[in-house]
Amino acid sequence: MSDLQDLGVERTLVLLKPDAVARGLAGRIITRFEDAALKIVGVKMKLMDAEFTRKHYFDLEDRAGPAIYNTTAGFMQSGPVIALALEGVEAVAKVRKIIGDTFPDQAPPGTVRGDFAHQTKSSSEVSGKAVMNLVHASGNSEEAKYEIELWFGDSEWFDYETLVEKFSY
């Protein structure tokens, strides 16, 4: 991967949250990443227990407060999650662009959240429910590194060449 890093190739983590899995949107969401020349190098389905949720969202309570953490943690533990490790040129920024704004009502059409998620920020605040926005994506390269190492062990990576890589790199 070090030669590819010179080309801006990086890895990022995406979680298809319980609402994406329950609504049967996993395939449609994954297709958007593959259409954008992002390669799946790791994938797994998992139920997040309290301990693992705390590790994943280790700083959320400090950043947003205990109420937000508890609401988010409860939602993330409510059903299975599909974790994807994606690789590609500027993968972190590309994924963030594909998924759209955190709040679905602020995400533009053409993004995952703009097309498939419909909850508003205010409805989440009034109801006290987590924002059901279908996906989590690493916010920056450092976060991606931490999250990928948390979710995937060394033996869970797949190294293969896609046609995009063959003709582009």
Amino acid at 59: D
Exactly one of 136, 137, 151, 152 is catalytic; which is it?
Answer: 136
| Degrees, nearest 5: CA angle 18-155-2 | 100
Q: 77-103: string of b/e by CB count within 10 Å (b at 16+)?
A: eeeebbbbbbbbbebbebbbebbbbbb
In sequence order, the 6+-apart residues with CB closer than 8 A to the CB of 159 are 41
In the residue annotation, 136 being an active-site residue is answered as yes
* DSSP H or E run through 41: strand 39-46
DSSP secondary structure code for residue 107 in this structure: S
Rounded CA gap, 48 and 86, in Å? 20
Report the catalytic residues. 136
